[in-house]
Chains A and B, each alone.
Chain A
């Protein structure tokens, strides 16, 4: 079974790069199973869409690491993460999960625990991104729009210079660096020799 492993690895690499075709393929291939499982377990189609998309983002996050290797198939992974996310959601809503006896689900508990860590890492990253975005919202214009154009909308400095009325891409780039410096101040606090909490200073 050499080639399927390669195939899955290639799929993951394309997914990590955000390629639409691959993402669509993975989506279409696995959505149905998770959708019907969720409906059997007290969810709606809308819940299934939410949960499955979140699971895809978890996989996307994991796949960013080039060294990441799945120990199971993409389908199994997405299913395990989706189940985990759904049980979490039910817990939050104080609804106890409905466990249906189903042969195919035997041994799932081990997988669930193994992937709990992945979901936790994902949640931490989400919280971090959220803080970053709220700092971005406080930064003021033109920095907010400029940084969003560059990082969120994937525009290059040439386009940004044209859109924001800078005479050349270098000027836009300098402005971007100034904006990043302001964002740093908002996000980490005033620059000072005192290391702020959570900061990782390289030690000798």
Chain B
């Protein structure tokens, strides 16, 4: 073979740009004078370049897959809720660069503009102000619980930081709420319509969609008797569909009703609905139910005063998140809908057992 190893060394140096000016002149002369060498050298250069390029791209692709997998399997913290500190950092970076891009995603608004005068307010309830009242009520409640039912757990120790609403995914303890309700706390309890407290742990969450799946810690726990009466809609409901919700803007369950006013949510978010429905702080995570007893989604945020919309995450996002949790295959999601033939009042009464206040504590 006419080619010696030299040509490869030369080609590598040429590609790396490490040839001196003199060497390049020499090389050019040889290429100009020797057609066979020119052809060989060209091929060698192309090959070295392509091999390096393809290798570099391969590594880049595998890094992308890694990043994708990382963001898909967002850290699921069993037993204890750990707030991912890096999330704030990412949000801060994103918020500062967001000026560059015309569109700002929900979550950056959600987190960077949390302070107040945003056009998008998440509707978990920050307790603080009404702490006193709450403490009183809690004390009363505890007394009551102690007297009536010795089996129930005592109220959690520290002060309530945020409250929201949650509802059951399965009768044996899985439930869903809005991620922002629980993201800033270190322990989560639910208080059901009977006033009982149960501790819960985070199973998985999707911060972008603002959905969190949690589970009651207690073994053999059941929200109610038998399977859940409602089902989850996998497809998007039409404009104008009548809807209602139950939530805990105060310590008592509150009913409100409205309709779907747009198929997509905040800034065209396809995983959300825009609703014409009055909602206030403490109602984040409330179920959005249509007249036939299908869960269409959960409340996540309200618009600012001049744009009084309410936004709900569609149940599709909930189902997608549900499929990512390890226990997904053994979960018993409700199969049949028992609300469909009931009167509206009966539907609400049934729903009450599976809707509860979510209380988030932080030391």
User: Quick check: B9 and A129 within 8 Å, CB to CB?
Assistant: no
User: Quick check: A184 and B57 within 8 Å, CB to CB?
Assistant: no
User: Quick check: B8 and A57 within 8 Å, CB to CB?
Assistant: no
Nearest A residue (CB) for B66: A20
How many interface residues does chain B have, given as a range?
A: 35 or more
Which listed residue, B9, B50, B52, B208, touches A128 by the CB 8 Å rule?
B50
Which listed residue, B5, B36, B51, touches A151 by the CB 8 Å rule?
B51
8 Å CB interface, B88-135 against A:
90, 93-94, 97, 99-103, 105-107
8 Å CB interface, A47-98 against B:
49, 53, 56-57, 60-61, 64, 73, 75-76
Given A8-B100, A28-B94, A61-B57, A199 and B39 touching (CB < 8 A)? yes
Give B163 Cβ to nearest chain A Cβ, in Å.
Answer: 28
Q: Which B residues lie within 8 Å of A73 (CB)?
A: 100-101
Task: Give the number of A-B contacts (CB < 8 Å).
Answer: 145
How many interface residues does chain A have, given as a range?
A: 35 or more
Give A166 Cβ to nearest chain B Cβ, in Å.
Answer: 15
Give B61 Cβ to nearest chain A Cβ, in Å.
Answer: 6
B268 within 8 A of A: yes
Given A8-B100, A57-B61, A133 and B1 touching (CB < 8 A)? no
Nearest A residue (CB) for B31: A202
User: Quick check: A133 and B54 within 8 Å, CB to CB?
Assistant: yes
User: Quick check: B105 and A184 within 8 Å, CB to CB?
Assistant: no
Interface pairs (7), CB distance under 8 Å: A4-B100, A8-B100, A28-B90, A45-B320, A150-B55, A152-B58, A181-B5
Given contacts A57-B64, A152-B54, A152-B55, 17 further A-B contacts (CB under 8 A): A18-B59, A23-B67, A27-B71, A29-B94, A33-B103, A39-B271, A53-B68, A60-B60, A129-B50, A132-B47, A132-B54, A150-B55, A176-B8, A193-B36, A199-B39, A200-B42, A202-B32
